[in-house]
Amino acid sequence: MEYQLLIKKIYGRATPTEEAEFEQWYQESEDHRKYYHRLEKQTIGNQKPKQTDWLKAWKSFDSRNRKQTLFRRIRPWQAIAASILLFAWLVHSFNDKAFTTNANSDIAYVNVPDLDQAILTTESGQRFTLSEGSSFSNKRAKLAGITLAYSQKKGKGFNTLEVPKGNRFNLTLPDGTEVNLNASSKIKYPVEFNGDKREVQLLYGEAYFDVSPNHLNQGKAFIVTTMSQSVRVLGTEFNIRSYPEEEEIKTTLTEGRITWRNGNDLRNLVPNEQIQYSTNNNTFRINKDIDLSEVLAWKDDVLLYKNKPLTSITRDLERWHNVKFVFKDASKKDIRFTGRFKRDKNMTAILSVLEKTNEVRFRIKGQEVIVE
């Protein structure tokens, strides 16, 4: 049993497979159960587990009980070996600076972020803070985990759902369309789809849409608008990235087909195509055979980069960790990196990994990170 899995279980983030693994470990012995409940009590009391004491206790406890476990697990040295193999593959495949870690270092504690939150604003102007583990319901919507789901009851007006920096949230629209919202995103939508179309507005941010097909909605087309474009959907899955501080709006199709529109320009996209629209000069280009794993990694709480400039990484870290990066040396902005990080990785650990390339240094001052 891995320490990180116990933390994920406490915070309600374990997958069904991990839940099954935990349950079998939990039932194996009274020692297992006592240890878990001590750790749970320490964590839920709004104090993160003490980095040194709890990790040492876990290592000692795990060593004593190793013969009792029924599961094969990746030992620390195996994880390091896998990391080295991945590192070598990344360097071979992309021929650029790849992230690496110190094979001799111990990670004392995996930083699990606070419970995800979002702010719901109703047509009347009422604001509700929704969070994972809390309860909320009204005549048309109900919160379950980090998903706000609407029913098909009749209603008028629009609601907005805003996801602050450092958070993730999901939305199920009245027609059954599922929307994943990334950090620092805001969407406006009707509480009922009246008329001859289903239209929502991504005010800013990034969202992945799994659209309920037209034939299940009286043939009504689904339309997503942003500040500079609209996307007409015919029952499909796609991703839109539209942050105001970025110079491009990226629309990526994963399944089905969409029609992209800007003014009089119309383009039809097929799966694995991405249209990049420049907000600076009002031009666009279509990229084919897009690597969807990189585009959609955020949905799995992963930061994935392949030959991307440092500014792409720092912008994502700003949204996921609610900090501000300040470049003291502007030349560092264009240094390119390749690598992968989990969302629950402590940001200081991520910065430490980047520093190991000997290309950049960071200094943390409150909510600011100075790049040197």
Sorted by where each starts, the structural domains of the chain and their CATH numbers stand as 3-73 (no CATH), 80-106+301-372 (3.55.50.30), 117-294 (2.60.120.1440)
Q: What is the pLDDT of residue 163?
A: 95
Q: What is the pLDDT of residue 17?
A: 74
Which range has the top average pLDDT, 43-57, 93-107, 195-209? 195-209
SS3 state at 57: helix
Question: Kindly report the CA angle at 40 between 38 and 46, in degrees rounded to 5?
Answer: 115
**Predicted confidence band at 218 (pLDDT cuts at 50, 70, 90)?**
confident
- What token pair was written down for 132? 């994972």
Q: H-helix or E-strand containing 4?
A: helix 3-10
Q: What is the pLDDT of residue 5?
A: 74
Neighbours of 357 (CB within 10 A): 14
Query: At residue 130, does pLDDT exceed 50?
Result: yes
Closest CA to 117 of 191, 177, 183: 183
Choice between 162 and 99, residue whose per-residue pLDDT is larger: 162
SS3 state at 174: coil
Q: What is the pLDDT of residue 276?
A: 94
- What token pair was written down for 203? 């005010």
Query: At residue 221, does pLDDT exceed 80?
Result: yes
Query: At residue 325, does pLDDT exceed 50?
Result: yes
Q: Which residue has the tokens 């799995």?
A: 300
Region of poorest pLDDT, from 49-63, 129-143, 206-220? 49-63
pLDDT digits (tens, 9 = 90+) for 113-125: 457 899 999 988 9
Report yes or no: 143 and 135 within 8 Å, Cβ to Cβ.
yes
Taking the model in full, what pTM does it have?
Answer: 0.67
Choice between 12 and 346, residue whose per-residue pLDDT is larger: 346
Report yes or no: 203 and 215 within 8 Å, Cβ to Cβ.
no
Cα 110 from chain centroid (whole Å): 17
- What type of residue sits at position 87? F
**Predicted confidence band at 178 (pLDDT cuts at 50, 70, 90)?**
very high
**Whole-number average pLDDT of the chain:** 79
- What type of residue sits at position 270? V
